[in-house]
Amino acid sequence: MESIPLKDIADGLTDISWDILDILSRKQNLTYNELRKSLGLSADKSFKEVARLEGGRLIESKRDPKDQRVMLLNISDYGTKIKRFQK
């Protein structure tokens, strides 16, 4: 499989995607609702962006050890590398 250059991936990110990466690079283990409130977006719009970034492996989710119903979001190592190309 051919790999895509990081710059090409960065060029395809939306402003909302960059906002999510910025927030998660500053604060770890945010819940989806905490992130959504920080963004000021509707649940539908923020869910789609989070799913897209998670599918692209730019962010990661894991279950909260204190409450298995809650997912905690973090920027991935790959997402951190992509941030170097932020305009």
Domains of the chain: 6-83 (1.10.10.10)
Residue type at 10 in one-letter notation: A
Q: Using an 8 Å Cβ cutoff, are 12 and 6 in contact?
A: no
**Model pTM?**
0.90
Q: pLDDT tens digit string along 26-74? A: 999 999 999 999 999 998 999 999 999 999 999 999 999 999 999 999 9
Between strands 30-31 and 67-75, the pairing is antiparallel
- Between CA 86 and CA 2 the distance in angstroms is 23
Averaged pLDDT for residues 74-86: 95
- Between CA 72 and CA 34 the distance in angstroms is 10
Which phi and psi (to 5°) does residue 31 adopt?
-75, 165
pLDDT at 28: 95
Given a cut of 70, is residue 1 above it in pLDDT?
A: no
